[in-house]
A and B are shown apart, each in its own frame.
Chain A
Amino acid sequence: MLAYLGRRALLAIFTVWAISVLSFVIIQLPPGDYVTSYIAQMASMGSVVTDEEAQNLRIQYGLGQPIYVQYLKWMRLIAQGNFGMSMEWRRPVTEVIGERFWLTVVVSVASLFLTWVLALPIGIYSAVRQYSVGDYVGTFVGFIGLAVPNFLLALVLLYLGFTLFNAHIGGLFSPELQDAPWSMARIWDLLKHLPIPALILGLAGTAQQIRIMRANLLDELRKPYVVTARSKGLTEAALILRYPVRLALNPFASTIGYTLPYIVSGSIIVSLVLGLPTVGPLLLKALIAQDMFLAGTIVLLLGVMTVIGTLVSDILLVWVDPRIRLEET
């Protein structure tokens, strides 16, 4: 088991490194270097950057030196907590991102949680009561989730909410609590607004997991050990939960890890449509404005968050499947 976890952790580190390189590439892609655009930016505001300041900046960011040196300097700056300056907002990137990052985490985790909570019982029910009305309803809802891209779903729901109920279902907070400091009231407000974005984000993933759970369970239900359990005299409910569900959970648990990147990814666009104060809208604006340090940092943070989430799910998988504990898979 330790060997397995060790490998996963090592892989996670590699992935984070790969993401950092990709983020760096994104930062570097637009023509011109950071300092020239910074100077131009300052000039347009009427302030002047002295040659000395420019020189210092150049050294700090390693400009003019080979790419890998620049990369290393950037890494060192990050290690010190310095993520660079946002040109558009003229403030450190960390300030601009602020609580948006944590809200992204909250929305993503809520969505993931909702996916589990919904997909598992519906999947089990669909498999056990195959071809029943509940099965068809579940499958149908699942197909909507799969067929309708999440941002379109968000758009349609917004439209319906607006025209039918005259309600604005976007956003994570009520207008009065939007910029207020954290309090119990604000947390409660957040929780009240969470279900709809979490559902929209998670619907596709839920649909997929329902199908996987259903298919897995259908496979397991046909297996001989189920008959053995029944022949011992267990009740249907007990034996289904204790044996085939337990076994169907294994591949299920291993796919949860890969739902997270999908959810995080989807949250970007859905946040845009729903107007959520998360990292998504910020990223888009940064990319369009070529505010590269902001954009690159956001990509890096999103990637790291995903990798950590995947690692957590790998740990969960080990807990769920004893076969991994005993041998290498």
Chain B
Amino acid sequence: MAVLDPTSAPGPGAGAADLNKQRIFVASQWQLTWWRFRKHRVAVASACVVIGFYLVVVGADFLAYADPNASEAQRSLMPPQRVHWFDGGRFGPHVYAVKGARDLQSFKRVYRTDPREKIPIRFFAQGFEYRFLGLIPTTRHLIGVDGGRDAAKTIFLLGTDVQGRDLWSRLMFATRISLTIGLVGVTMSLVLGVVLGGLSGFYGGIADTLIQRVIEILRSIPTIPLWMGLAAALPRDWSILQVYFAITIIISLLAWTELARVVRGRFLSLREEDFVVSARLVGCSQMRTIFVHMVPSFMSHIIAATTLALPAMIVSETALSFLGLGLRPPAMSWGVLLQQAQNVQTVAISPWLMLPAVPVIIVVMAFNFLGDGLRDAADPYGR
């Protein structure tokens, strides 16, 4: 379409619109990316969702109201309680007390709600003790009950699992672990991917061929059987933390290939660009050429690729734990929680056990939209 020439003097009839166009010329790459990103409403919404999830990670203790490990056979497999928001016309959220009894014929527990006993829900109530941000000891939680009652025994927003542990509270803590495993894994993949991809793309030659072949070999291997095998081989007596890191390493070992391919591709195409050649000719050292000239050009692509790699990591860990080969109780992650939902009979009776699947799906969608939006915004040839 029209050619904009900022260097020619405006003719007699030019207007203020031209000055606005000038702003675009002096904006930095980051500003341009941010402006383009802002236009993608879905991506921005997804970013908010992701931030929301990570706030949960930070404030898991605050958002939970019951000790996630407090098990009680008498509360096993309770369905979620209905929250009644209005009490006699005024805003007063409350739940009905639940009485449980064992059905003498099926030996299963059955629960009835008792509408006469109303238990008001309080915001910012007292509950079990924890350290906020790991530093400040406090007992305040987002929701709870007062009057000396134990929230763990009275509120069950999402029901309980087989061992009577409150699902909502466990979900909060599980979110923390699931989302941070993703971060640690992606960081490792990022380091491996950028280093190996960069070596491959920038130097070419034998290093490139070798790394390329390794990548292709790794890509041809079906990942889950391999992960299963490696995870099953972890000694049973390892601590949760050791298992956690081992799982992340195992997952990252195969996941870096995608990032390496992106990095390599970028380096290869950038190497031939005139601005890189001129940097070299002007006398920049290789380090300087790479870090000052080349890396900023594809930084945003890397960010986008990383954002897209995160959900894969999270799903991998969820899958492994779901099978019982990843994290194990008493560790909590979405996969560990879903382990209880493994067979149809259990789930048919207690469908709320499938609820941990919901955050998985939301997070994966959010990260995918976010990554797509970032990738589109980062593309210097986009509109």
A residues touching B (Cβ–Cβ < 8 Å)? 11-12, 14-15, 18-19, 22-23, 26, 29-31, 143, 146-149, 151-152, 155-156, 158-159, 162-163, 168, 170, 257-258, 261-262, 264-266, 268-269, 272-273, 283-284, 287-288, 290, 295-296, 298-299, 302-303, 306-307, 310
Known contacts: A15-B221, A156-B354, A302-B225. The answer to whether A149 contacts B364 by CB under 8 A is yes
Chain B, residues 301-337, CB within 8 Å of chain A (1/0): the string is 0000000000000010011001111000000000000
Nearest CB of chain A from residue B330's CB, rounded to whole Å? 19
A148:B224 contact, CB within 8 angstroms: no
Distance between Cα atoms of A264 and B226 in the complex (Å) = 12
Distance between Cα atoms of A31 and B235 in the complex (Å) = 9
Residue numbers in B under 8 Å from A147 (CB-CB): 361, 364-365, 368
B354:A299 contact, CB within 8 angstroms: no
* Closest A residue to B228 using CB positions: A287
A170:B225 contact, CB within 8 angstroms: no
B225:A159 contact, CB within 8 angstroms: no
B213, CB-defined interface residue at 8 Å? yes
Nearest CB of chain B from residue A47's CB, rounded to whole Å? 28
B70, CB-defined interface residue at 8 Å? no
- Provide 16 A-B residue pairs closer than 8 Å at the C-beta atoms, listed in order of the A residue: A11-B213, A26-B230, A26-B232, A26-B233, A146-B368, A149-B360, A149-B364, A156-B357, A159-B344, A170-B344, A261-B221, A269-B322, A284-B325, A298-B225, A299-B225, A302-B225
B64, CB-defined interface residue at 8 Å? no
B223, CB-defined interface residue at 8 Å? yes
Query: How many of chain B's residues have a CB under 8 angstroms from any CB in A?
Result: 38
Nearest CB of chain A from residue B131's CB, rounded to whole Å? 33
Residue numbers in A under 8 Å from B324 (CB-CB): 284, 288
Which of A22, A162, A268, A288 is close to B344, meaning CB atoms less than 8 Å apart? A162
Nearest CB of chain A from residue B179's CB, rounded to whole Å? 15
Distance between Cα atoms of A12 and B224 in the complex (Å) = 20
B222, CB-defined interface residue at 8 Å? yes
Distance between Cα atoms of A11 and B222 in the complex (Å) = 16
Which of B216, B221, B357, B368 is close to A22, meaning CB atoms less than 8 Å apart? B221
Residue numbers in A under 8 Å from B217 (CB-CB): 11, 14-15, 18
Residue numbers in A under 8 Å from B223 (CB-CB): 261-262, 265
B365:A159 contact, CB within 8 angstroms: no
Residue numbers in B under 8 Å from A159 (CB-CB): 344, 347-348, 351, 354
B285, CB-defined interface residue at 8 Å? no
Chain B, residues 332-365, CB within 8 Å of chain A (1/0): the string is 0000001001101001100100100100110011
A306:B222 contact, CB within 8 angstroms: yes
Which of A18, A273, A303 is close to B222, meaning CB atoms less than 8 Å apart? A303
The 10 closest A-B pairs by CB, nearest first: A29-B233, A26-B229, A287-B232, A265-B222, A147-B365, A265-B224, A264-B222, A261-B222, A15-B217, A147-B364
Residue numbers in B under 8 Å from A303 (CB-CB): 220-222, 225
B219, CB-defined interface residue at 8 Å? yes
Distance between Cα atoms of A268 and B223 in the complex (Å) = 10
**What does DSSP make chain B's interface, helix, strand, loop or mixed?**
helix
Which of B225, B235, B344, B351 is close to A283, meaning CB atoms less than 8 Å apart? B225
B323:A158 contact, CB within 8 angstroms: no
B344:A261 contact, CB within 8 angstroms: no
Most chain B Cβ neighbours within 10 Å, of A29, A148, A287, A303: A287
Nearest CB of chain A from residue B237's CB, rounded to whole Å? 11
Most chain A Cβ neighbours within 10 Å, of B226, B229, B235: B229
Residue numbers in A under 8 Å from B368 (CB-CB): 143, 146-147
Distance between Cα atoms of A148 and B359 in the complex (Å) = 10
Residue numbers in A under 8 Å from B213 (CB-CB): 11, 14
B315:A30 contact, CB within 8 angstroms: no
Residue numbers in A under 8 Å from B216 (CB-CB): 11, 15
Which of B232, B235, B342, B348 is close to A163, meaning CB atoms less than 8 Å apart? B348
Which of B229, B318, B341, B357 is close to A296, meaning CB atoms less than 8 Å apart? B229
- Besides A29-B229, A149-B364, 12 more A-B contacts (Cβ < 8 Å) are A26-B229, A26-B230, A148-B364, A149-B360, A155-B347, A262-B222, A272-B323, A284-B228, A287-B325, A303-B225, A306-B220, A306-B222
* Closest A residue to B214 using CB positions: A18
A269:B221 contact, CB within 8 angstroms: no
Distance between Cα atoms of A328 and B226 in the complex (Å) = 33
Residue numbers in A under 8 Å from B361 (CB-CB): 147-149, 152
Residue numbers in A under 8 Å from B235 (CB-CB): 31
A149:B315 contact, CB within 8 angstroms: yes
Nearest CB of chain A from residue B328's CB, rounded to whole Å? 12
Most chain A Cβ neighbours within 10 Å, of B219, B315, B344, B351: B344
Nearest CB of chain B from residue A189's CB, rounded to whole Å? 21
Nearest CB of chain A from residue B174's CB, rounded to whole Å? 15
Distance between Cα atoms of A143 and B228 in the complex (Å) = 27
Distance between Cα atoms of A26 and B250 in the complex (Å) = 13
Residue numbers in A under 8 Å from B319 (CB-CB): 149, 151, 269
A152:B360 contact, CB within 8 angstroms: yes
* Closest B residue to A289 using CB positions: B232
Residue numbers in A under 8 Å from B226 (CB-CB): 22, 26, 299
Residue numbers in B under 8 Å from A151 (CB-CB): 319, 322
Distance between Cα atoms of A288 and B231 in the complex (Å) = 10
Distance between Cα atoms of A143 and B365 in the complex (Å) = 8
B229:A287 contact, CB within 8 angstroms: yes
B344:A295 contact, CB within 8 angstroms: no
A269:B224 contact, CB within 8 angstroms: yes
Known contacts: A15-B217, A26-B229, A156-B354. The answer to whether A266 contacts B365 by CB under 8 A is no
Distance between Cα atoms of A114 and B354 in the complex (Å) = 28
Which of A264, A268, A273 is close to B342, meaning CB atoms less than 8 Å apart? A273
* Closest A residue to B233 using CB positions: A29
Residue numbers in A under 8 Å from B348 (CB-CB): 159, 162-163
A284:B365 contact, CB within 8 angstroms: no
Distance between Cα atoms of A155 and B357 in the complex (Å) = 10
Distance between Cα atoms of A131 and B49 in the complex (Å) = 25
Known contacts: A151-B319, A158-B344, A269-B319. The answer to whether A261 contacts B228 by CB under 8 A is no
Which of B219, B347, B354 is close to A261, meaning CB atoms less than 8 Å apart? B219
Distance between Cα atoms of A302 and B223 in the complex (Å) = 10
Residue numbers in B under 8 Å from A272 (CB-CB): 323, 342
Nearest CB of chain B from residue A266's CB, rounded to whole Å? 7
Distance between Cα atoms of A244 and B233 in the complex (Å) = 49
